[in-house]
Structure 1
Amino acid sequence: MKAKFFKLLLPAFAIIMAVGMAFATEEANSTQTGYYNHPILGVQAIPTDCPETGQVLCMEGQWQVFKDPALTIPLYERFE
């Protein structure tokens, strides 16, 4: 009886937990497209999770990352 109870309860608990964790994720962790100006290749697009506000500039290697391809809106490092 005890084994049957656990065989039924454990998968049900795992499914409930997976659904609950899916709703617990933060939208802020989603990535956006950032742009940086490579001296040889020109403007390059990269995935980034850097926000538009902050104090430390977001960098890709040695190049600063921007939100738009015109390189006018800088992105900043995320500190939480």
Structure 2
Amino acid sequence: MKSNFLKLVLPAFAILLAVGLAFATEESNLPYVGYIATQSGYAEIQTDCPNLSGGYCYDGLNQVFNDSGLTDPKRTWD
């Protein structure tokens, strides 16, 4: 009885676990268009915000902004 139960439940559990983990992806790692300040104004960049220092997104030493006016900083929790 015990071995029949395990033969039925163990594969079912493995399938449920695989399906559940298939949806456990991070949407925040998708690249997006951001803006950084340069000497001549702003530059448009593609980033996925790899640097998580202080809750704000940085590309190298440059802070990334959501708008070309450089007034809305990109936060890591956006």
Taking structure 2 as the reference length, what is the TM-score of the superposition?
Answer: 0.51
Amino acid at match of 2:11: P
Maintained 8 Å contact 2:34/2:44: yes
**1:39-50 matches, cutoff 5 A:** 39=38, 42-48=43-49
Aligned length: 68
SS in structure 1 opposite 2:48? Answer: strand
2:72 maps to 73
SS in structure 1 opposite 2:46? Answer: strand
SS in structure 2 opposite 1:8? Answer: helix
Q: Which runs of 5+ in 1 are unaligned?
A: none
1:63 maps to 62
Correspondence for 2:27 among 24, 27, 30:
30
SS in structure 2 opposite 1:43? Answer: strand
**Deviation above 3 Å: which 4+ runs of structure 1?**
18-23
Instruction: Choose between structure 1 and 2 for higher RCO, CA contacts under 8 A separated by at least 6 residues.
Output: 1
Cα distance in 2 between the residues matched to 1:56 and 1:5: 49
Amino acid at match of 2:47: I
1:19 maps to 19
Q: Which runs of 5+ in 2 are unaligned?
A: none
